[in-house]
Amino acid sequence: MSLDTFRKDTRAWLEANCPESMRKPIRSEADICWGGKNWTFASADQKVWLDRMAEKGWTVPAWPTEYGGGGLSKDEAFVLKEELKAIGARSPLDSFGIWMLGPALLKYGTHEQKAEHLPPIARGEIRWCQGYSEPGAGSDLVSLRTKGVLDGDAYTVNGQKVWTSYADQSDWIFALVRTEADAPKYNGISFLLIDMEQPGVSTKPIKLISGKSPFCETFFDDAKALVRNRLGEAGQGWEIAKYLLSHERAGIVSEAAFGGLNPVTAAHQSGEVEEDGRLSDPVLRGDVARLTIDGLAFDATMRRVKEEADHGEGVGARASMLKYIGTELNKRRNELNMSALGYDGLLWEGDKESDGETARSWLRSRANSIEGGTSEIQLNIVAKRVLDLPSA
Amino acid sequence: MTFVLNEDEQMLRDSARGFLAEASPVSALRKLRDAKDPVGFSKELWGQMAEMGWTGVLVEEAHGGVEMGYSAAGVILEEIGRTLTSSPYLSTAVMGATVLNLAGTDAQKDSWLPRIAAGECVFAFALDERARHNPEKIDARAVKDGNGFRLNGAKRYVVNAMGADMLVVAARTEDDKINLFLVDPKADGVERTARRTVDSHVPADIKFADVKLTGESLMAGAEDSEAAYRHLLDAGRACQAAELYGSALQAFDVTLDYLKGREQFGVSIATFQGLQHRAAHLYGELELTQSLVRRALTTLDTQPSQAPLWCAAAKAKATQVARLAAAEGIQMHGGVGMTDEYDIGLYYKRAQAAGEYLGDDAFGAGEVARLSGY
């Protein structure tokens, strides 16, 4: 089928099948469809939209059809994305299964593992969370100590994970577990898929400076993980984790760079502008202008890196540079939002659900340069892998 | 393509890099400086640039140019920035050709564009009148006098003026509009005073006292003379930003080499995290600068109406980052970075001078705010 025909067919199908209420922008967390066994659909339309898209395999358009995907080529997937955007359609399903575990399963999984785990991700039936960090293993992730002991056809897992987003609402967890006690630390970790619906797994939410959060602690007390649910070889977990982290970093960057309140809008909200639209405080105006310049530069750099990638230059370790710049920029934007709002920005709780949103976003942004590898870790990576500076 | 160089531009970059490393390394600037060269650039090198076809990148083929556009001019200026080459390239091949294309009459174009393409003349721009760049604060006056004009005013920081064959002067006419005039630097009433600046260039301050101009000296080819003036400044900013970016890149490369070669406490100082993080941060800033500079240049070529914002942003960022790259370079070199023997200090000086020209980072930020409507 030619790309033009595909576009025509796609447009017609979307027009006929995307419910009207699913063609409005996502306003809050409640509008996102995460799926899973315990999922309560926000509306009948949300379910209809997910079911219809899953039926076509278009929740994961580029995955193979035998695993619940749409089997689309890169170009077709791009056309679909454009057509979805054209009618303002919401994503039918978002999940860590799609963004993170899926790509790793496709790369490292056996046929049996793919057949078992990918289709439920594509249909939004199983919700996954990620178990990497531990209380004693943050930036130094490879020193993690959650232990798995082989016992017949299963590992017995003991230990604790932290910063497991949405663990309290998830069905399964993909976790890094030290299974090879005697191996060197980089070679002793396995990548295990663990069913959370068992007595040995429990979770506890974490409250942040920004208030409620999706983060949890997750505890394993003699939890069982079947050997057939180990992705890759025993001891190959670190390699898979690094592959996955690059996907996570890309996600944080695109989140940091786009959308959200900007200081000019904030100044209009607080009335700190002159009649001609000029920001009232000239020094703040200068700070905002320098943010605008760096924002334009970052946006142009994302496009350039993409253009260069299309010409065969890999992104490689430059992803670390983008993560560093994008997250630092987002923190600056939030600080200037608060400054432009003045006293108005300090509101924490009020009558409306949106009251306190700016302050929460500002506080939450501090985590951008910690999660997914701190800014300092990204600078280490750039120094070693891009600038070729030697290790100590 | 917005960001990736096409094949012609890649070849141009490679040949420019090779040629300038040979014909105009940093030592060439030191020679001009130490000899107190009266014009501050080498006319011989200017002739060689013309032979390579560089002077005609913004001149159409009918006038003897190769018409490759601002993107290509930026490629050359980046390499000029790398070697700190002092030349009339920006003032003549870029701004001279630009002003003729935008505001030249047919006669002016026919007369000057072929000479620019052939490297047979040097242009200098008498624009600013104050200590900081301010394109609206023009007090110079050109008053009607018979068929011609009488020009009065005082200009600051006219780059390459001492070696110029032609001056382009911004002056207000009786309708209070800013117009551009072609003025012979040797005409009666034109008084040039050379200023040796920190970057070893030789700009001049110029007084115009009752200078008689013919009617043909007015650049009357543009529908809106002030729009042409502003577009000239935008093009100048983007191309000056390209030169600054080249200088910043070279300052960074020189510094990385130094880090890798220097030992203290019995180890390579390149292993120190404190220095690695400074270098990695600088790398990110350079990448941001590259994107803005490329975007500004290609926007001039393909969507000129969108150029003001990108040119202002690129000049501001390149100014800030060229200064940062050289300042960090001095710091990471340590004591030898303060000596005249090492080149890094020359990059710091040039970053300051080229940074001020046509508006520094503070000026650019103000423009970005204004153009963004806040």
Q: What is the pLDDT of residues A140-177, one digit of tens each?
A: 999 999 999 999 999 999 999 999 999 999 999 999 99
The yes-or-no verdict on residue A251 having pLDDT over 60 is no
Where do we find the tokens 């940062």? B324
Subunit contact B277:A376, Cβ cutoff 8 A: yes
| A288-to-A266, A306, A339, B370 alpha-carbon distances in Å | 11, 27, 10, 12
For the segment A178-207, what is each residue's pLDDT rounded down to a tens digit? 999 999 999 999 999 999 999 999 999 999
Residues A58 and A162 in one domain: no
Contacts of residue A355, Cβ cutoff 8 Å, sequence gap at least 6: A347, A348, A349
Preferred mutation among A301, A310, A374 to probe B, highest tally of B CBs within 10 A: A301
Rounded to the nearest angstrom, the minimum Cα separation between A247 and chain B is: 20
Domain assignment present for residue A266? The answer is: yes
Q: What is the CA radius of gyration of chain B?
A: 21
Per the domain annotation, does A343 fall within a domain? yes
Per-residue pLDDT for A28 more than 60? Answer: yes
Contacts of B313 in chain A (CB under 8 A): 292-293, 296-297
Tokens 């943050």 -> residue: A138
Tokens describing residue A18: 């995307």
> Does the beta-carbon distance from B368 to A267 stay under 8 Å?
no
Contact yes or no for A142/A185 (Cβ under 8 A): yes
Taking the alpha carbons at both ends of chain B, their separation in whole angstroms is 31
Which among B276, B309, B315, B324 is the top mutation candidate for probing chain A, defined by the most A β-carbons within 10 Å of its own β-carbon? B276
A154 and A269, same domain (yes or no): no
The answer on pLDDT for A313 being more than 80 is: no
SS3 content of chain B, % helix, strand, coil (to 5): 60, 15, 30
For residues B74 and B10, is the Cβ–Cβ distance under 8 A? no
Cα(A67)–Cα(B94) distance, rounded to whole angstroms?
Answer: 58
> Of all residues in chain A, what percent carry a pLDDT higher than 90?
81
What is the structure's pLDDT at A1? 76
- Ranking A127-136, A309-318, B306-315 by mean pLDDT, the lowest is A309-318
**Which residues of chain A does B309 touch, with a Cβ-Cβ cutoff of 8 Å?**
296
Amino acid at the residue B53: G
| pLDDT at residue A309, rounded to an integer | 82
Residues A294 and A361 both lie in one domain: yes
- Supply the pTM of this predicted model: 0.90
Interface contact flag, B279 A325, Cβ < 8 Å: no
Residue A110 in domain: no
Q: What CATH number did the domain enclosing A67 receive?
A: 1.10.540
Residue with tokens 């976790």: A175
What is residue B263's predicted lDDT score, i.e. its pLDDT? 96
Query: Beta-carbon neighbour count of residue A86 at 10 Å?
Result: 12
What is the complex's ipTM, to 2 decimals?
Answer: 0.95
What DSSP assignment string belongs to B141-210? EEEEETTEEEEEEEEEEETTGGG-SEEEEEEE-TTS-EEEEEE-TTSTTEEEEE---TTS---EEEEEEE
Q: For residue A111, give how far its alpha carbon lies from the nearest alpha carbon of chain B (Å).
A: 40
Query: Residue A325: exposed, middle, or buried by beta-carbon count in 10 A (0-12, 13-18, 19+)?
Result: buried
pLDDT at A307: 86
- Among B276, B289, B291, the residue with its CB nearest the CB of A389 is B276
Pairing mode, if any, of strands B166-172 and B263-264? unpaired
Partner-chain residue, chosen from B280, B313, B374, that has the shortest CB–CB distance to A285: B374
The helices-and-strands tally (H runs, E runs) of chain A is 12, 8
Closest by Cβ to A303, choosing from B3, B289, B373: B3
Distance CA(A337)–CA(A287), nearest Å, equals 11
Check: CB of residue A109 under 8 Å from CB of residue A67.
no
Report which residue type is found at B278: R
For chain B, list residues with pLDDT below 50. none
Residue A212 inside a domain? The answer is yes
Among A76, A94, A112, the domain-final residue is A94
Structure-token match 């039918």, residue found:
A92
CA B349 vs. chain centroid, Å, equals 15
Do residue A353 and residue A264 come from a single domain?
Answer: yes
State the catalytic residues of A: 248
Q: A379 and A317 share a domain?
A: yes
pLDDT at A249 over 80: no
Contact between chains at B365 and A389 (C-beta distance less than 8 A): no
Same-domain check for residues A197 and A265: no
Residue A152 belongs to some domain of the structure: yes
Contacts (Cβ under 8 Å, ≥6 apart) of B175: none
Residues A44 and A85 in one domain: yes
Note whether residue A112 is domain-resident: no
Set of chain B residues whose Cβ sits within 8 Å of the Cβ of A307: 1-4
The beta-carbon neighbor of B368 closest among A293, A308, A380 is A293
What is the length of chain B? 374
Closest residue of A to B281, CA-based?
A379
pLDDT of A27 = 75
Identify residue A361 by its one-letter amino acid code. S
Q: Do A267 and B280 touch (CB under 8 A)?
A: no
Q: Are residues A190 and A285 in the same domain?
A: no
DSSP B313-363: HHHHHHHHHHHHHHHHHHHHHGGGGGSTTSTHHHHHHHHHHHHHTT--HHH
Task: Check CB contact under 8 Å for B369 and A288.
Answer: yes
Assigned token pair, A167: 């663990």
Q: Do residue A229 and residue A313 come from a single domain?
A: no
DSSP for residue A66:
G
Residue A258 pLDDT greater than 70, yes or no: no
Secondary structure element (H or E) that encloses residue B268, with its range: strand B267-268
Would the CB atoms of A390 and B268 count as touching at under 8 Å?
yes
Residue closest to A90 by CA, chosen among A148, A129, A41: A41
For residue A21, being part of any structural domain is answered with: yes
Query: Which residues does residue A130 pair with via DSSP β-bridges, in sequence order?
Result: A174
Q: For B303-317, what is each residue's pLDDT tens digit?
A: 999 999 999 999 999
Six token digits for residue B28: 């060439």
pLDDT at A256 over 70: no
Domain co-membership, A266 together with A226: no
Contact residues on chain A for B295, CB-CB shorter than 8 A? 296, 300
Q: By residue range, what is the domain housing residue A332?
A: 258-386
Which residue is listed with tokens 């600078």? A379
> What radius of gyration do chain A's Cα atoms show?
23
Tokens of A17: 């099948």
- Is residue A68 predicted with pLDDT exceeding 80? yes
* pLDDT at A257 exceeding the cut of 60: no
Size of interface A-B (CB pairs under 8 A): 130
Choice between A267 and A24, residue whose per-residue pLDDT is larger: A267
SS3 A374: coil
The answer to whether B82 and B249 have CB atoms below 8 angstroms apart is yes
Residues of B in contact with A290 (CB under 8 A): 316, 361, 365
The reply to whether residue A304 touches residue B369, judged by beta carbons under 8 angstroms, is: no
Q: What is the mean pLDDT of chain A?
A: 93
Q: Establish if A132 belongs to a structural domain.
A: yes
Q: Closest by alpha carbon to B271, among A301, A152, A110, A380?
A: A380
Judge whether A10 and A85 are in contact, CB under 8 Å.
no
- Do A132 and A198 sit in the same domain of this protein? yes
For the domain that residue A171 is a member of, what is the CATH number? 2.40.110.10
CA closest to B312 among chain A residues: A293
Task: Assess whether A353 and A313 both reside in one domain.
Answer: yes
Q: Which residue of A has its CA nearest to B279?
A: A383
**In the predicted structure, residue A281 carries a pLDDT above the cut 60:** yes
Closest CB to B277 among A288, A293, A379 = A379
**Interchain pair B313, A293: CB under 8 A:** yes
Across the interface, whether the CB atoms of A267 and B316 are under 8 A apart is answered: no
- Provide the token pair at B300: 């001039």
Structure tokens at A50: 């997910």
Which residues in chain A touch residue B294, judged by CB atoms under 8 angstroms apart?
A: 300, 304
Chain B residues with CB-CB distance to A324 below 8 A: 280-281, 284
All domains of chain B in start order, with CATH: 7-121 (1.10.540.10), 125-217 (2.40.110.10), 225-371 (1.20.140.10)
The answer to whether the Cβ–Cβ distance between A296 and B313 falls below 8 Å is yes
Structural domains in chain A (count):
3
